[in-house]
Chains A and B, each alone.
Chain A
Amino acid sequence: AIRITQSPSSLSASTGDRVTITCRASQGISSYLAWYQQKPGKAPKLLIFAASTLQSAVPSRFSGSGSGTDFTLTISCLQSEDFATYYCQQYYSYPRTFGQGTKVEIK
């Protein structure tokens, strides 16, 4: 199985900050990576697929980059509604695997 190592596991930030979360795959996965946002008690929400394609209706302050084994999710100007847990997920091969998650908390 492809292992996805996500970092950091948590971070504290303030509204307006630029935030970067990274995922590293244990082998190359081309651009077969998605990013999700999850708020407490809610289902995950798709933010980005194909490593850098923004899902419809997702604010442009979210962006993704990377290919192969190293990927990044960037929130350019953190808003109050962005405090949540973020997961990356590979769909290059089975089993589909997720990163461990990054909890973005208010500083």
Chain B
Amino acid sequence: EVQLVESGGGLVQPGGSLRLSCAASGFTFSSYWMSWVRQAPGKGLEWVANIKQDGSEKYYVDSVKGRFTISRDNVKNSLYLQMNSLRAEDTAVYYCAREGWTSGYRYFDLWGRGTLVTVSS
């Protein structure tokens, strides 16, 4: 079955760290750009970061630059998000998403169910 399964969420204090994981199965993980997208409670979607197939390019939204690091392991078919210096405003459901592509167009065509990160004292 083609799927993405996130893990690693939980409750963390402000200033703390957390590492999210996303396990991919049912497709050739190493052929796709991958992203993290988050959604604060009751709010809209916000793209967080993405990473190229071989890990050579990474992009981040400004609000997480210097605090979050995206990485991947193509042998383990896994995507990661290391989150440091966490703030209350990072509280959200974090989704792992595959970036499909067609003729130069890229889009999020496969999503995981998400993992909840709560930053609170």
Residues of A within 8 A of B (CB): 1, 31-32, 34, 36, 38, 42-46, 49-50, 53, 55, 87, 89, 91, 94-101
Would A46 and B112 count as touching, CB distance under 8 A?
A: no
CB-CB under 8 A from A31, the residues of chain B are: 105
Interface residues on B, range: 20 to 34
Would B44 and A49 count as touching, CB distance under 8 A?
A: no
CB-CB under 8 A from B108, the residues of chain A are: 34, 36, 44, 46, 89
Would B95 and A43 count as touching, CB distance under 8 A?
A: yes
The 10 closest A-B pairs by CB, nearest first: A43-B111, A96-B47, A49-B107, A34-B107, A50-B105, A95-B61, A98-B45, A101-B44, A94-B59, A46-B109
- Of A43, A44, A49, A97, the most chain B CB neighbours within 10 A belong to A43
With A43-B111, A98-B45 in contact, is A91–B61 under 8 Å at CB? no
With A89-B45, A97-B47 in contact, is A46–B61 under 8 Å at CB? no
Residues of B within 8 A of A (CB): 35, 37, 44-47, 50, 59-62, 95, 100, 102-103, 105-109, 111-114
Would A43 and B114 count as touching, CB distance under 8 A?
A: yes
CB-CB under 8 A from A100, the residues of chain B are: 44
CB-CB under 8 A from A36, the residues of chain B are: 45, 108
Nearest-CB residue, chain B, relative to A42? B113
B25 to chain A, nearest CB (A): 16
Would A87 and B44 count as touching, CB distance under 8 A?
A: yes
* Given pairs A98-B46, A101-B44, 12 additional interface contacts (CB within 8 A): A36-B45, A42-B113, A43-B111, A43-B114, A44-B111, A45-B111, A46-B109, A50-B105, A87-B44, A91-B105, A95-B62, A98-B47
Would B107 and A91 count as touching, CB distance under 8 A?
A: yes
Would B59 and A46 count as touching, CB distance under 8 A?
A: no
With A49-B105, A50-B105, A53-B102 in contact, is A43–B113 under 8 Å at CB? yes
Would B59 and A95 count as touching, CB distance under 8 A?
A: yes
Nearest-CB residue, chain A, relative to B59? A94
Nearest-CB residue, chain B, relative to A96? B47
